[in-house]
Amino acid sequence: MGEPFTPTHLIIIVLFFFPLLIVPYWQILRKAGFPPLLSLLVVVPLFNLLLLYYVAFADWKPNRG
């Protein structure tokens, strides 16, 4: 049998799965008045949960754009 995780799997995850997570968070954070670069934390296992709670319970700034 083959290896359970190959470099091809890593490429597929980075090119297809990560954008599916990062793009929606980027838009939500931008519209909520937070720095959109925080959306990159979504790919880190514990930080994605912390980011979700931070955004959920923080005071949102009004959208200016």
Q: What is the mean pLDDT of each run of 10 residues along the chain (65 residues)?
A: 79 86 92 90 90 89 64
52, part of any domain: yes
**Three-class SS state of 28:** helix
Q: What is the pLDDT of residue 46?
A: 93
1, part of any domain: no
Q: What is the pLDDT of residue 36?
A: 92
Structure tokens at 16: 């297809």
**Three-class SS state of 62:** coil
Q: What is the pLDDT of residue 32?
A: 87
**Three-class SS state of 61:** coil
Which structural domain, as residue segments, surrounds residue 21? 7-57
Structure tokens at 1: 């049998």
23, part of any domain: yes
Q: What is the pLDDT of residue 26?
A: 93
Q: d(Cα 31, Cα 61) in Å, to the nearest integer?
A: 9
Number of structural domains, the chain? 1
Q: What is the pLDDT of residue 65?
A: 56
Kindly report the CA angle at 29 between 24 and 34, in degrees rounded to 5?
Answer: 165
Structure tokens at 9: 């799997």
Q: What is the pLDDT of residue 13?
A: 82
12, part of any domain: yes
